[in-house]
Amino acid sequence: MKTATPALPRNLTLAANALVSQRLPSALALKQQLPLSCALGTQVNTHRQAVRAILDGHDPRLLVIVGPCSLHDAKSALEYAARLARLAQEVSGEMLLVMRAYVEKPRTTVGWKGLAYDPRLDGSDDMVGGLTLCRELMLAMLGLGLPIASELLQPMAAGYFDDLLSWVAIGARTTESQIHREMASGLGMPVGFKNGTDGGVGVACDAMRSAAHGHRHFGIDPQGHPAIIETAGNPDTHLVLRGGHHGPNHDRQSIAKVHHALGRAAIPARIMVDCSHANSGKDPSRQPHVFEDVLNQRLEGDRSLIGMMIEGHLFDGCQAPGPNLRYGVSVTDGCLGWDSTEQLLREAARRMQRNPSARAI
């Protein structure tokens, strides 16, 4: 007797709460629309090699990732980039300055998700326009001679500008994610994994070990089709300390514990300190204090401290997204203003010049 095929429950046809509202161009289509020139492609590769050389200890300079918590306005972002490009030339003997070009923002609950998602900051979520604007902005920054850094949050979005980046962050909320570890294993640039929001470095150690290995995983090819992605593994990863629920982790005692944890996991001691977030108590005016503490440790001989990260914009503080925004002020985390940032970096360069051991390889 033939068994009847059971009917699907009616509610399954109503289970999906998501609709396709608009198709995005493929990553390849946007790259063809806004191509990376051969000259700028060579520049990106040179900057990636410079970052790798710092990580490996072959370049004695300090790696400094600096710029707005998030990009939200093209004009102020490019003004900041132009100022940073001039300063980068002046301190190039002691530091490699890399522009923060963060266009995705992780949210604990809800909120503005970044320029790639909502470029008009009005909830219209014009992601086609957002991706286009992000790529245009990054190309303009490259045209100023700057290396660019960004946090990669949505793996599908990464392919729209991964060819422009010289350094990538994986955030505290996503360091534990297998998807992000797989993505990092296939990226062609150095990747910094942040410690977890609890302040522990265990998940970041696991992430670096995972990303160093090759993977086969579900993904999207450049034409926008679902595909099996095969990666070779990324040897150029490192730890980013950003503090945690219990406070900062940039002090000497915390760094010593981090050294022990990295050694136990057989991971090279390559440490960047994020001067913002829990390390500064989310007070942007405390970022110079964190920076100077880490610089002192570096000048005293701890060469595992390869760099720092600063959240800075043209002007101090932050503001809520809205219709009447103040020019050059962050709409996400509070930032250090340009004048204070410039003074901090110039003084750090002078101190490094006066300390020959800081330049010794």
In a domain, 3, yes or no: no
In a domain, 19, yes or no: no
pTM (2 d.p.): 0.93
pLDDT for residue 355: 84
In a domain, 207, yes or no: yes
Q: How far is CA 266 from CA 10, 196, 260, 263, in A?
A: 54, 19, 10, 5
Identify the CATH number of the domain in which residue 74 sits: 3.20.20.70
On the question of pLDDT at 12 being above 50, the answer is no
Q: Where are the alpha helices (DSSP H) in 275-360?
A: 287-299, 338-354, 356-359
Contact between 261 and 205 under an 8 Å Cβ cutoff? The reply is yes
Count structural domains, the chain. 1
In a domain, 172, yes or no: yes
Say how many C-beta atoms besides its own lie within 10 A of residue 114's C-beta: 26
On the question of pLDDT at 359 being above 80, the answer is no
In a domain, 15, yes or no: no
pLDDT for residue 297: 98
pLDDT for residue 361: 46
Per-residue pLDDT of 126-159, as tens digits, reads 999 999 999 999 999 999 999 999 999 999 999 9
Per-residue burial over 322-339, b = 16 or more CB atoms within 10 Å of its CB, e = otherwise: eeeeeebbbbbbbbbbbe
Per-residue pLDDT of 152-181, as tens digits, reads 999 999 999 999 999 999 999 999 999 999
- Chain centre to alpha carbon of residue 16: 33
Provide the residue range defining the domain that includes 183: 26-359
* Pairwise CA distance, residues 121 & 73, whole Å: 10
Strands 271-274 and 305-311: parallel
Per-residue pLDDT of 112-127, as tens digits, reads 999 999 999 999 999 9
In a domain, 87, yes or no: yes
pLDDT for residue 13: 47
Ranges 13-27, 106-120, 171-185, 260-274: which has the least confidence: 13-27
In a domain, 342, yes or no: yes
In a domain, 290, yes or no: yes
Mean of pLDDT over the chain: 94
pLDDT for residue 108: 83
